[in-house]
């Protein structure tokens, strides 16, 4: 993909992601099948309340893509407004080749 834009490599939080603690959630990202993430890419974690269909995230985190599986931890420190994380949440993981969350590519 030209221009260092995001890739659609399937990345998903494992079933081991845990919450219920207002201080945070921990989990592990794994790659589906034979997916590959190039070195230098970033992984963005976007947190929204469970059931949300869009809108602004309640928390975000940027991880350097390294060897998978990739562990993560999200807490109130990742909150957009300093609020505790929701008890039930949806965590989207997006791989971005140039590390800029504002760039998008159809690929």
Residue tagged 């008890």 (tokens) = 87
Instruction: Return per-residue pLDDT of the chain as tens, 107 residues.
Output: 333 333 344 444 443 344 445 568 899 998 887 778 887 788 999 999 999 888 899 999 999 887 888 899 999 899 988 888 888 999 998 888 877 777 776 54
- As a whole number of angstroms, the distance between CA 36 and CA 32 comes to 9
Please state the pTM of the whole predicted model: 0.72
Beta-ladder partners of 88 = none
**Conformation bin of residue 82: beta by default, left when phi > 0, alpha when psi is -120 to 50:** left
CA distances from 46 to 33, 34, 40, 43, 58 (A): 22, 24, 19, 10, 8
The pLDDT value recorded for residue 27 is 92
Q: How far apart are the first and last CA of the chain?
A: 7
């Amino acid at each position: 993909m030209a221009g260092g834009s995001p890739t659609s490599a399937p990345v998903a939080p494992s079933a081991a992601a845990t919450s219920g603690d207002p201080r945070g959630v921990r989990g592990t990202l794994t790659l589906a099948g034979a997916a590959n993430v190039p070195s230098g890419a970033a992984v963005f974690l976007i947190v929204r309340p469970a059931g949300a269909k869009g809108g602004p995230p309640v928390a975000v985190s940027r991880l350097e893509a390294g060897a998978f599986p990739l562990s993560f931890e999200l807490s109130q420190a990742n909150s957009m407004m300093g609020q505790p994380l929701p008890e039930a949440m949806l965590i989207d993981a997006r791989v971005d080749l140039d590390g800029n969350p504002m760039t998008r590519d159809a690929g």
